[in-house]
Structure 1
Amino acid sequence: MEALREAVSELTVYVHPSNAADVRRAVARQLSTLLFSYEDRFEGVLLAHEVTVESNQAKILNGLVPYFGVPVHANLLLYSPQPDMILEGKVELLGKESIHAVVLGVFSAAIMSDDIHKKFKFKRKGYGARFISRSDKHHMIKKGSMIRFSVKRVETEMSCHITGSLIPPHTGSMLWLSIHDAEYASEISSGNKRASNIGIKIEQNEQDHITFDNEDRVINSERPHKSRKRSLEE
């Protein structure tokens, strides 16, 4: 999935002397407090981390006594959706005015009626609500369907809540697309999907130095902090 990427960062984590016997565990515990929350400095939601602790270089810094700063090399797995990316999700709820899906089993996405292609017609019968293509009744979206959609907007204050769209090409029910969409079907059969669709993009950050205090929150960054809008739009 295009929104997944890896990043490498050099961090400094402050640890209390009482945790000196197991510094690696103390560092991992502090980083774990950031899981599944959006961090501007990482430009994404932290999903997982693997750290290499350089405890032999730890030192006490002025103003932080008795805490000591531990240099950490961290490999981070981030969820960083951006406008125009193609994501995949499972439909959890749908009605005439919207479709609500979950990405990666955690993150919410909403597709409003204005962003649902006119080729889809909403129907509600005994078997439940669904959107059915006017040109092919086998192309339908219902609760439980896996869909591909384009990212229209990202609300980072809501832990990356996504507003999506089913208007761009190659979007809709993944089951139907795998059979009837030549480009998507070719990607599946060849096993060489584009990195923008399923690959994890590896990003080598330029030696990002981020420090954490004993209260598990970011307090400083040696990298110039660039402003970032909380709402990313097209």
Structure 2
Amino acid sequence: MEGLKLANAELMVYIHPSKSGNKLKAICRELSSLLFQYDETFDGVLLAFDVTVKSKGAKILAGLNPYFGVKVEASLLLFNPKPNSLVEGKIVKISPETIHVIVLGFSAAVVTDIDIREEFKYKKRNGEDCFVSSSHKRHVLKVGTMLRLQVESFDEEVMHIAGSLLPANTGCVKWLEKQSEEASHMDRDDHKRRKIA
């Protein structure tokens, strides 16, 4: 999935002196407060981190609360989907006008009817709302389906994605992967035939 990236960073983490007994725990607590929030410094939403304390020493900051700074090296997993990138999520609601998706368990995404390909037609099957492809009857989008969609925009403040199903490489992830496998098998068979001939 696009939009995820690993980054290495050298950070200065500021800790209250009362937490100096266990620096690593205090550092992890400080970094944990940044999880699942967009941070301009990291240019993304922090999803996970792994920290190594770089030096044994610490720099004491003067002031009313004399915090001390500890240099750390951190590996960060960030989420920042750019426009035209592809993300995947689970469909949680379908209506004739929209498809609602949860990406990575925390970010909401919506695809509106103007961003759904013409081939997908809204239907009710067994009392369930779904979109069915008119060109491939097995390509069905319903609640619980893992959906690949193209990012139109990402609102960092509320973690909301506006998505699109207009590109041909979007839709049900299982169906897209099956089509990709079948195409690669056909390519291999064609290649073998050419070698024999």
* TM-score, reference length from structure 1: 0.74
The corresponding residue for 1:79 is: 79
The corresponding residue for 2:156 is: 156
The corresponding residue for 1:134 is: 134
- Give the aligned residue type for 2:121: K
* Distance verdict in 2 for CA 1:4–1:64, change over 3 Å: farther
The corresponding residue for 1:12 is: 12
Alignment partners' CA distance in 2, 1:137 and 1:119: 10
Maintained 8 Å contact 1:61/1:69? yes
1:89 aligns with 2:89: yes
Gaps of 5+ in 1: 191-234
- Give the aligned residue type for 2:107: F
- Count, aligned residues: 185
* Distance verdict in 2 for CA 1:132–1:70, change over 3 Å: same
* Distance verdict in 2 for CA 1:15–1:150, change over 3 Å: same
Maintained 8 Å contact 1:147/1:172? yes
1:166 aligns with 2:165: yes
Alignment partners' CA distance in 2, 1:113 and 1:11: 44
Alignment partners' CA distance in 1, 2:5 and 2:182: 20
* Distance verdict in 2 for CA 1:149–1:14, change over 3 Å: same
The corresponding residue for 1:114 is: 114
Q: 4+ runs of 1 displaced by more than 6 Å?
A: 187-190
User: 1:57 is paired with a residue of what secondary structure?
Assistant: coil
Which protein is bigger by CA-based radius of gyration? 2
Maintained 8 Å contact 1:115/1:166? yes
Q: Give % identity.
A: 46
* Distance verdict in 2 for CA 1:141–1:9, change over 3 Å: same
Alignment partners' CA distance in 2, 1:166 and 1:80: 19
The corresponding residue for 1:99 is: 99
Bigger relative contact order, structure 1 or 2, given CA contacts below 8 A and separation 6+?
1
Gaps of 5+ in 2: 186-197
Maintained 8 Å contact 1:178/1:188? no
Alignment partners' CA distance in 2, 1:83 and 1:155: 11
* Distance verdict in 2 for CA 1:6–1:149, change over 3 Å: same
CA displacement at 1:154 relative to structure 2: 0.5
1:176 aligns with 2:175: yes
The corresponding residue for 2:2 is: 2
Once superposed, what is the RMSD of the aligned Cα atoms? 2.0
The corresponding residue for 1:57 is: 57
* Distance verdict in 2 for CA 1:118–1:176, change over 3 Å: same
Superimposed CA distance per residue, residues 100-151 of structure 1 (whole angstroms, 9 cap, x where no aligned partner):
1111222211101110001111012433110011112211101111111111
Superimposed CA distance per residue, residues 72-94 of structure 1 (whole angstroms, 9 cap, x where no aligned partner):
11111111111000111111101
The corresponding residue for 2:68 is: 68
User: 2:56 is paired with a residue of what secondary structure?
Assistant: helix
